[in-house]
Every structure is written in structure tokens, then in C-alpha cells.
A and B are shown apart, each in its own frame.
Chain A
Amino acid sequence: MTEFLQLLFQGLSLGATYALVALGFAVVYRSSGVINFAQGAMLLLGAYAISWLAVDLGVAFGLAVLAATIVLALGGAGLHALVLRRVVGQPTFVLVMITIGVGIAVTHGVEAAFGPDRRLLGDPWGSSAFEAGGVVVNTVKVWGIAVTALALAAYFAFDRYTRWGLAMQATAADEEATLSVGVPVRRVHAATWAMAGALATLGGLFLAGFPGAPQPALGDAALRAFPAVVVGGLGSPVGAVVGGVLIGVIEVLTSGYAPESLGTNFYAVAPYIAMIAILLVRPYGLFGARPVERV
């Protein structure tokens, strides 16, 4: 039982981080129909920015996180203003290709600047932990869950209680019509990319926390969160969160309970198996908008 609770806690904590990453995907997809393959690179960049500020420059950790989040948000908006805005009118596919290119460039840029080795994150928690009811609780995981909950609450409040939530959905459907009702479409896009940058930084922060570390392979975590987006339903923020938690729990439980005959890395495959199983039953994900057609 204790082992189960231990794994469940770890799964929830990993799932919370996946939820942040998945929400980053969903936010961009929902307002532009683009699957942002640069999400992993943004996450990597966020983690390195925090590490650089906190370790190399000695900035207080909380401040380093705040600064990195803001810089990445500006970076996301900048990516839109400098690159993506210029291909307006091209098929979505062109934008997706650009995000792949940007992702590769950023990942290799980070590796060129900081080298291939693991770095220190500079977080005050390190590997510290406490015990609660026989379960070992890492401080970093508690922070991860708390910050994720806060970020998600902020996002959903923004989506529900400001006029921009509806405007973002309208933008994805028809930019010309959205513009005609007075929505500054460019600003909507810039805001979405800024959110993606900020969410990626927070995701990177906790993925790089103990037992992880800032390292070039960190960006691959975005690919591990991808089943979460698909399971939840592309473009559904609620789905991204539910999918994220689900995939996190599945991954950790599999790593704990899968028989050895399946191999040691079976936990990495399990989320994809779950994804395929769910898609067989619900082709548009748990919360995805089923395209309804009149017959």
C-alpha cells in the first residue's frame, strides 16, 4: 500500500508537470491550429535560463524563475512577431514546420552555449524530502504540484473571466471574421505564444528539478507529454490537464509495477499504449471537440 501511495504521489507530481507542458501545446493549438513542436525547446531554454541566472549570476532563485518566465514569454511573443506573423495566410503546415526548425535551432544553440553536461539548477530544494505516512515526499515535487495548480487556476480564470478566452477560440476559427468584430488578432496570437513560453518555463523548472537536471535531453520531455495532449483532446485546456495527470500516473505506476520481462524502459512506452487505447474508444480524445457534420 505504501509503495502504491509512493508511486501515486510521484505520478501525480510528474503528471502535474506534464499538465503544464500539455497546456502549453493546447493553448497554441486552440487559437491557431498549430502543434508547437518548439515547446520542448522552449522548456529546455526556460530551465537553462533559470539555471544560468541562479547559478552563474547568483540571482535569488525565486527572482530567477520570475525573470526566466518573463523572458520566455517575451520570447514566445517575439517568435510570433518576427517569424510566424510573416507567414500569415500560408497553410498551418508551414507554421508547424517552422516550429520544428526553431525547436532544433534552440536545442542545439543551448547545447553549444552550455555544453552537453548536466548543470545545476540552483534551486533551494535540491533533493530534500520529508516523510508523511511512510511516503517519501520530495520538497521539489510539492512545489511542482502547488505552482502547477496556481498556474492552471490563473489560466482558467483568464480564459473564463476575461473577454480573451472567447476571442482566442474565435481567432482559430476565422481570423478575418474575428478581426471584423474588433479583436486585435495579432495581439491574441502574441499573447498565446507568450503563454506558451511562460508555461514551458514552469514545466522546464520542475522537469529539471530533482532527480532531473538541466541537460540537453530535457526537451524530449515535451514529446513524453505529447500523449497527454492527444489523450485530452487537441486544443482542450481541460483535456490537457486531465491527460497530463493521467499520463504521469500511468508512466510512474508502470515503472513501478511492470514485470521485468517487458524490459526496463517499458514505462516510456506505456503512455503511448494508453494513448492508442483511449483513441480507439474516443477518437478525438477525452475532451476534444468532435467535428459534427450535418448529414
Chain B
Amino acid sequence: MNALEVRDLTLRFGAVTAFEGVSFDVERGELFAVIGPNGAGKSSLFNALSRVYEPGAGSVRLEGRDFLRVRRDRLAALGVARSFQNLGVFPHLTVLENVLVGRHHLMRCGVLRGGLGLAGREERRHRAAALEALEFVGLGAHRGTPVQLLPYGHRKRVELARCLAMEPRLMLLDEPVAGMNAGERAEITALVRRLREERELTVLLVEHDMGMVMEVADRVLVLDFGVPIACGTPAEIQCDERVIRAYLGEELDDRVAA
């Protein structure tokens, strides 16, 4: 069974079509990337897949289950974690607390069991898991720092650590290197690659940065004006004529000849 099956997904805002007839499968353990020029519908597709927008038609199945009918706060428990393009961290909370929130759906102690004093052992377990995720992204030493004091690249790593601490099977990454300098971009790219190599994870990556995608993706879907124009390995995509045309435009001669 595929991790994710998207069939004929369509999203419209009034008369404007964000994307139309998008179908693809993401295999288990695969890093699948969606790219496209500005305005191609990448972000809209991401938002539909993370359930921020309600698609008008089509279906999405998550390991066979109807993904579009799951309550949004239940997605985490089904093993779906997401990152945000503009960061979804909690500035006032410390780095460790930010990651710990990611384990909310794994925590069992409610008012009753907490009242019986059983919360302590569970809390230690979750703290250990959160710390482990922080060590993975290289922020173990910053655990007590409020997130708002960290530079942008570090905050992104806090967010990725939180995703990791959620123990997801599918990770949705929304333009993780957007707005970063070259150094930060290289760090995050390396981190995403390690995520994928060292954890049993399926990753769906929506990204503007071609360099990053070509470096980490197993397969790439290219959108242009809301329509899929190509899907294949990075090598195939790089020499696909339609893709080159979408990114670079048609040559004047061709148009004259046509």
C-alpha cells in the first residue's frame, strides 16, 4: 500500500483554479517533492494536503484511509506531521517545551491518572524523547532557551525536531529553506536528508529551491499553472522539455515558427 494516494485533486477559489486534476502516489519511505514556478499551485496543494483548504474534488488516501474526512486534530495521531513555511513555533516557550508539545497526542496522563501521581514517569519518558529529537537536529544545548531568542535557521530546526518528536510516518514539509541564506540552506538540506536516511519516514516536500529538491528527492512532481506537467526522478525532471519550458519560457524562435 502506498503511503499517500492523491487522485484528481482539484481546488478552486471562486473562478480561479489553484490546481486541477492532480494525481500522484507517494511510496512508503520515499522523499517526494512537488516543485513548480511561482504561482504554480504548490502552496495551495500543500495546504490542501495539510487540510488547511478543503479541496473541491478528488480524493486523498493515507495508507488506505480517507484522509480528507479525518478531523484535523486527529491527523497527528495518524502519524502526520507538518512544518510551516513561515514557521509554526511558539516564541515564548523554550526549545524543549516547543518540542514537547509535539508529543501531546502521545501523552496519556489525564486529570485522573495525573492526580494519582502517575504523570511523573510518563513526563520523564516524553522529555527524553523530546531531547533525543533535539539532539538529532543539533539543538540539545539550547533546550532551555526561549525560541524567540534563536536565529531563523535554528527556529526551523526546532520545528523539525517537533515534527520528529511526533513520531510521524508521513512528514509534510512546506518550503523548509524559504528565506534562508546559503549556509542555513545547506544545513537544513543536510538535515532533511539525514531525517530520511536515519528514520523510517515518508516525506512530502513542497519547495521552490530547485537545488535542494534535486539533492534530496527520490521523485519529483512538477506543477505549472495548477496542472501537473511531469513526474519522475530528479535526473528525468532536469532534462524534461516541458519542465525546462515552464521554468525558462519558450524560445522566441519556436513561437515565431509556430
Contact = CB atoms under 8 A, between A and B. Distances in A.
A180 B89 contact: no
B101 A181 contact: yes
A42 interface: no
B166 A181 contact: yes
B48 interface: no
A142 B115 CA distance: 26
A173 B84 CA distance: 14
Contacts, number: 88
B148 A292 contact: yes
Contact of A170 (B76, B77, B101): B101
Interface string B162-205: 10001000000000000000000000000000000000000000
By size class, the interface of chain A is 20 to 34
B102 A181 contact: yes
B119 interface: yes
A185 B119 CA distance: 22
B68 interface: no
A174 interface: yes
A164 to B, nearest CB: 9
Most buried by B among A163, A174, A185: A163
Interface stretch (A91-99, A154-162, A242-250): A154-162
A181 B93 contact: no
A243 B104 CA distance: 31
Interface stretch (B10-18, B53-61, B105-113, B231-239): B105-113
Contacts of A86: none
Interface of A: 157-158, 161-163, 166-167, 169-170, 173-174, 176-185, 289, 291-294
Given A157-B115, A158-B114, A173-B90, 16 more contacts: A158-B111, A162-B119, A166-B104, A170-B101, A173-B93, A177-B88, A177-B89, A179-B73, A180-B81, A181-B76, A181-B102, A182-B73, A182-B104, A183-B73, A291-B148, A293-B148
